[in-house]
Structure 1
Amino acid sequence: MDVFKVSTVNLQQVQNQTRHKTEGLSSSTLVLRRGQVFTLAINYEGRAFDPLKEKMVFRIILGPLSVDVPVSTSGQPSLTQWTAVLERSATGPTAPRALSVSLSSPASASIGVYTLEMIVETRQGVKTHSVGQITLLCNPWSQADSVYLQSEDLRTEYVRSDIGVLYKGSPYSVFPRPWALDQYEKGILDICMKLLQLSPQHQADMRRDLQNRNNPVYIGRVISAMVNANDDKGVVMGKWEGDYKDGVNPSTWTGSGDILKKWAETKFSPVKYGQCWVFAAVMCTVMRALGIPTRIITNFNSAHDTDGNMVIEEYYDEKGKKLEMSSDSIWNFHVWVESWMKRPDLGQGYDGWQVLDATPQEPSGAYFRCGPASVKAVYQRRVEAQYDVPFVYAEVNADVRIKIVKNGKVLSTSVDKRRVGPLICTKSPGSTRMQDVTSQYKNESGKRRTDAPSPAPTCKGTAVSFKLLKPPVLGENISFNITIVNNEAAPKQLKKHVNAQNKVYNRNPTDTFWQVHDDIQIGPNQTVTAKHEICFKDYMQKEAAEDTLVSLAVVIEDVNSQERVLAAEEFNICSPTLTVQVQNESCVNINAPQAATVSFVNPFDTAVCGQLTICGSGLMEQKAQMCVTIQPRETMRKPVNFTPKMAGCKMLSASLVLTNPPAVLHGFTTFNVQHLNMDVQQVKKCL
């Protein structure tokens, strides 16, 4: 008797992943987005499938959870439950012996790695066929998904793009830092899914964790904790001082792929070491891979309020040295991410961008994590809103109370309400230009101009200020003027104390490396200006870093009245940059060999040596690395060849780690990789 017999089931990976916009994501499974139809081809032998004689059921399995989905011959996909519909049945002696079945997942399905089985019931019995595995991701293209993002350009930027640019420095001197997000690198998506599997939540209660994975709010909190290694089997261990000989200097990482692969290859041991931009960039990679729109944010002069009073206490001694008397601190910059999602738990009006911070600063719900904190809730100072809104609000809005102390006695106190959070920024969509998003966090009255220093402090007619004579450049002296104004109609005898300290971006300065103390006679209503210079050898760091930061303070003491006034500023020393140029940049084609050149002019008076690294996600299978020595004022030009494997906007970046002087330099360029058959006029060039 002729019977219906399944021979093979084809997951049709290329067609399905193209429709689901997951092409390029590397996985051992079929990669799909929830709330969207995908099709399977069922090849069979014998007679055609007859729904009156056979019953076909798909079993969808996620860990201990499963659902049976009968195949119907009619109907529409559902956004609330799994469905399976028979699309066609080929008949006739010469027709292919195949069925096409359309399956769809609910728009609120849990993300994870599912196992698919197909069960066929006939009069002869029941047979179960292994279909394979699918990795289900969030779907910002589906209006029913809680991560839906309306603009195609923004979906391209915040989900599909693997170009990372973050911003560092100070609000007066911002510089871009390239980062390869690497979500398309081989094995990265599987590693991101493993990160969920290793979370404490999954280990403690697998069923509950898998059920909760339908919610991006929950996913964000899990990932925020798992990117750092503080209290779980997380990815990155932080380190902000000392040497990095037993790991990697955070400034030398070029992308997320190396970090995530190292974590997996070492059986999920913490990767040493990271700092805030590393935690944020790795989290951006994971969230984009999971289908949640995410962007990297930098907050300049970011407050770390440890006691929750939304006030940062700063202490200086009477000679201008900043003191370690408070656990609060102001980071020159701090980097986190924002992810786009709905927030039904907060009520109406709080959907959209949510702050998530993987840098381990303070515990939140027993783990070192932060967020998701609604940016709109931060703007409205809704400090009762979960999660961690008060902490984020303080990061961008805290007052700064400055005290000069001597022998435990407070000599003067002043309050600065504008120093914290003067500039909050991110990469502009479709461009490497900076986008200012400060107004999304705080109203205009709370913003301070980022092109001018604080007003000169005064005390009873004495004012003091200082001004850099030119932007500080690594290898050169720091030149600045100090201006003292006597606004009274009587002469004064003053003492001037100038103090410079090296600064790590996320904490108070270290010991004084340069200081000057002078006596000054100033006449009635007179202005006195003094020029100072700090030599390169005085501020040169011991450990290679891309951030050379200086804390500079001046205290003017009125000898007769004993009153004091302080002016302080923290700034970064600009590093030279590398130039990356791609030949024939306007016609770079997929799978066609291309050439580029990395160049650098040595501005130092001595020869420099170090390691040059060139990389490009989707452009080069392996990084190009070479040791270089460059003579004083010599121009280095190094060629590099690459063959693009992915179309779209791509980034080629280079870094040079110098040993003398210790510094890390960067450079990058972005360009569009075209399909060979694509009309150049149709290509949207990336800037």
Structure 2
Amino acid sequence: MEDLRFKNVNLENSENLEKHRTEDFSTSKALVVRRGAPFRVSLQLEGRPFNPKTDSLRVKVMLGRLYVVMPVTFIKKVSSTHWTAYIEPKGLNLQNPSIYISSPASATVGCYRFQVFAQNNRKTRAYGKFILLCNPWCPEDTVHIPFEDQREEYVQNDSGLLFMGTAKNIVSRPWSFDQYEPGVLETCLNLLQVSPQHQKNRRMDYLNRNNPVYISRVVSAMINSEDDRGVLKGNWSGDYKQGVHPSLWTGSGDILRQWTQSGFSPVKYGQCWVFAAVMCTVMRVLGIPCRVITNFNSAHDTNGNLVIEEFYTETGKKLHRSKDSIWNFHVWVECWMNRRDLGKGMDGWQVLDPTPQERSGGVFCCGPAPVKAIRDRRIDLYYDIPFVYAEVNADVHSIVLSEGRVLSYNKDTERVGSLICTKAVGYPRYQNLTGDYKHLKSPTSTLSSRSSTMSDDSTLRRAGSSKGVAVFLTLDKAPVAGEPVRFTVKVINKQSVAKMMKLHVNAQAKEYNNSPLDTFWETHGVIKLAPMEAKVIRQQILPAQYEDVVGDDLVNLAVVLQDMASQEQVLATEEFNIASPELIIEVADEGSVVPGKEQTATVTFTNSFSHPVSGALTVAGSGLLQGKVHFRMSQLRPGGTVQQGITFTPSMVGSKMLQASLLLTNMNTTIRGFKMVFVNRA
């Protein structure tokens, strides 16, 4: 009988992409499918047709030097643990027979090759390639997440919000994850290939790459460049001349493309939110559910004693004295997976932190640490639970010093981890996750003010210090650029004798992860308190006095009250950000946005500063715009408004983000705005 001869293989892209929910990866040259589910390929034969009674086919699937050979059966059999291949007899086209190939739910993630051949003629073969990803839709997959809206948000959504600022004045920064942009999928797979684990032992790396715990640790290490040829170089120095200021990135695509095009040289520069957002892109591409987390008042406890010490002068200026620190916010990711290595109860969200802070297993990575284990302080489990536990639970000791002598000592058990949040599913707002990480002492997870008066178990009371006075520092409202920062100092004499008090108020600019810089505003005075009297002092910092710290910088505000008779000192502090004005984006005919049809939008900016500004406007939108669009904004007087029209042509359906950023040339400030655009099917 004449041998079967293969002309080519049709990968049935459109059908397979739809069934595997990978349609948005259509720019990839390879077929993209998910593990644990069959995909169909069609053989185009030359010569005689396929004979089901006498022809016996085999499929060989290869990953590097690993391979598996399986017979093609006529029984529809999908195994969660083995590779299978079958033909459905019903409706079989003998000239173009279809074969279904199904991977196990625990298959390795990677780029595969396959061959189809007849058992009696191994010389003639049909060849193809496919990329295999994790499958959150498959119940047997260890990354299975059971709700469709969460799969849409944490796997498929290519844009999101990163939360910054402070817990009382949260700034929503738009970010484009860009996982469907050309070349991003291939770059994420290259990241696994470039990793030290793969370079050291390719066979073991491929075998281990079936496990999301292993994958996530590799990715966490590869996002930073400390130990390897990782994606991003961190920089907190303030000098970014050799690269891009971390605040200027708006999406992951530019970073990942630059890394690939440079031959895997680190991209300069990243800080915590950039590291986390790029890792979120990689994990979503690989099919592992991922979300970006912000921890406000995040402790970096270098000596592991769960105590952060902060030092102030007697006039309220904060000093740089400790290796420990509190970042106003720190950003990491959570990934969803089963933890079969830890036993029951630790499945679900796992903390992973790609920002290089401490080594884990000798490498700068962190996690996966189960959120449930952090909440219950299960420091006996893997990975890095003590470090993350300290980030959300450390106590803060505030100390007032004079010539090396301690004048005042204050303990705050509520400040660290005051709010832990992520973007809400389906909505452009934050979701509070604080109760998932820690046992809350009260229904509210944030404090409206901080006082030097202490609870009964405080360090101050145990030290036997006098409690003659109390001072409270409260912002009247969340500060907004262009308006005075108004705050109230409330002083209470708790004794039945009159007091003369020195009052010092000090404001310093600071970056989110550092001790403050020099004082930019201060006031001093003397107040007289009658016995048991309470006084309220209202203060304000004018826009012209603070405008250099609008945007990404924050303000450390401190009040020190000194009893002139007893020399007793009490301290109250607050750290806050001054919210920038926002760009307003409006889209014409919002309800009729469809792929391939040109649309128009308008970006509006109103200058709320006290002086003229000019700058450069950049507009981007994955799935809406090809690349970025740039405009110059000429000088705009205080109170003036400018509008810029743009056109865009959507290329994808679904909810897409149009985002704009205005970099002011005469200030260290970037103004941002975003608009969610729903693209309907044509």
State the TM-score bracket (shorter-chain normalisation). over 0.9
The CA deviation at 1:579 is: 0.3
Take 1:65 and 1:394, find their aligned partners in 2: how far apart are those partners? Answer: 42
Q: Is 2:422 the partner of 1:426?
A: yes
Q: What is the match of residue 80 of structure 1?
A: 81
Q: Which letter maps to 1:658?
A: L
Take 1:538 and 1:314, find their aligned partners in 2: how far apart are those partners? Answer: 26
3-state SS, counterpart of residue 591 of structure 2: helix
1:224-623 to structure 2, matched below 5 A, reads 224-445=220-441, 449-450=445-446, 452-457=448-453, 459-541=466-548, 546-623=551-628
Determine if contact 1:117/1:128 at 8 Å carries over to the other structure.
no
Tell me which moved more, 297-306 or 45-54: 45-54
Take 1:468 and 1:636, find their aligned partners in 2: how far apart are those partners? Answer: 32
Take 1:539 and 1:250, find their aligned partners in 2: how far apart are those partners? Answer: 22
Determine if contact 1:503/1:509 at 8 Å carries over to the other structure.
yes
1:117-137: CA deviations, max 9, x gaps?
Answer: 223333xx4215352221100
* Aligned mate of 2:674, from 655, 664, 668: 668
Tell me which moved more, 590-599 or 448-457: 448-457
Tell me which moved more, 50-59 or 234-243: 50-59
Cα 1:513–1:241 shift into 2, 3 Å: farther
The CA deviation at 1:397 is: 1.2
The share of aligned pairs that are identical, in percent, is 50
Determine if contact 1:224/1:369 at 8 Å carries over to the other structure.
yes
The CA deviation at 1:536 is: 4.0
3-state SS, counterpart of residue 88 of structure 2: strand
Take 1:98 and 1:90, find their aligned partners in 2: how far apart are those partners? Answer: 11
Cα 1:221–1:184 shift into 2, 3 Å: same
The CA deviation at 1:535 is: 4.2
Determine if contact 1:4/1:44 at 8 Å carries over to the other structure.
yes
- Structure 1: 5+ residue runs without aligned partners? 677-687
Q: What is the match of residue 210 of structure 1?
A: 206
Cα 1:295–1:537 shift into 2, 3 Å: same
* Aligned mate of 1:190, from 186, 192, 216: 186
Determine if contact 1:418/1:448 at 8 Å carries over to the other structure.
no
Determine if contact 2:510/2:555 at 8 Å carries over to the other structure.
yes
Take 1:150 and 1:460, find their aligned partners in 2: how far apart are those partners? Answer: 54
TM-score (normalised: structure 2): 0.95
Determine if contact 2:233/2:268 at 8 Å carries over to the other structure.
yes
1:63-74 to structure 2, matched below 5 A, reads 63-74=64-75
1:286-310: CA deviations, max 9, x gaps?
Answer: 1001001111111111111111112
Take 2:85 and 2:452, find their aligned partners in 1: how far apart are those partners? Answer: 71
The CA deviation at 1:513 is: 2.6
The CA deviation at 1:48 is: 2.6
The CA deviation at 1:219 is: 0.7
The CA deviation at 1:451 is: 5.6
Determine if contact 2:59/2:69 at 8 Å carries over to the other structure.
yes
3-state SS, counterpart of residue 421 of structure 1: coil
3-state SS, counterpart of residue 8 of structure 2: strand
Q: What is the match of residue 157 of structure 2?
A: 161
Q: Which letter maps to 2:103?
A: S
1:141-185: CA deviations, max 9, x gaps?
Answer: 000000001111111111111121121111111121110110010
Q: What is the match of residue 685 of structure 1?
A: none
3-state SS, counterpart of residue 144 of structure 1: coil
The CA deviation at 1:429 is: 0.9
3-state SS, counterpart of residue 24 of structure 1: helix
1:123-162 to structure 2, matched below 5 A, reads 125-162=121-158
1:645-668: CA deviations, max 9, x gaps?
Answer: 111111111111112222111111
The CA deviation at 1:475 is: 4.2
Determine if contact 1:28/1:190 at 8 Å carries over to the other structure.
no
3-state SS, counterpart of residue 660 of structure 1: coil
The CA deviation at 1:90 is: 7.7
Q: Which letter maps to 2:615?
A: G
Determine if contact 1:48/1:90 at 8 Å carries over to the other structure.
no
The CA deviation at 1:403 is: 1.7
Q: What is the match of residue 634 of structure 1?
A: 640
Determine if contact 2:448/2:474 at 8 Å carries over to the other structure.
no
* Aligned mate of 1:116, from 108, 114, 117: 114
Take 1:70 and 1:159, find their aligned partners in 2: how far apart are those partners? Answer: 33
TM-score (normalised: structure 1): 0.94
Q: Is 2:58 the partner of 1:57?
A: yes
Take 2:477 and 2:8, find their aligned partners in 1: how far apart are those partners? Answer: 72
Take 2:2 and 2:590, find their aligned partners in 1: how far apart are those partners? Answer: 62
Take 2:509 and 2:611, find their aligned partners in 1: how far apart are those partners? Answer: 23
Determine if contact 1:419/1:448 at 8 Å carries over to the other structure.
no
Determine if contact 1:61/1:114 at 8 Å carries over to the other structure.
yes
RMSD: 1.9
The CA deviation at 1:54 is: 4.1
Tell me which moved more, 50-59 or 615-624: 50-59
Tell me which moved more, 72-81 or 180-189: 72-81
The CA deviation at 1:49 is: 2.6
1:12-36: CA deviations, max 9, x gaps?
Answer: 1111111100111132211010010
The CA deviation at 1:311 is: 1.5
Determine if contact 1:60/1:117 at 8 Å carries over to the other structure.
yes
1:35-69: CA deviations, max 9, x gaps?
Answer: 10001100112223346654422211111211112
Q: Which letter maps to 2:107?
A: A
The aligned length equals: 669
Take 2:126 and 2:109, find their aligned partners in 1: how far apart are those partners? Answer: 21
Determine if contact 1:465/1:567 at 8 Å carries over to the other structure.
yes
The CA deviation at 1:479 is: 3.1
Take 1:331 and 1:522, find their aligned partners in 2: how far apart are those partners? Answer: 36
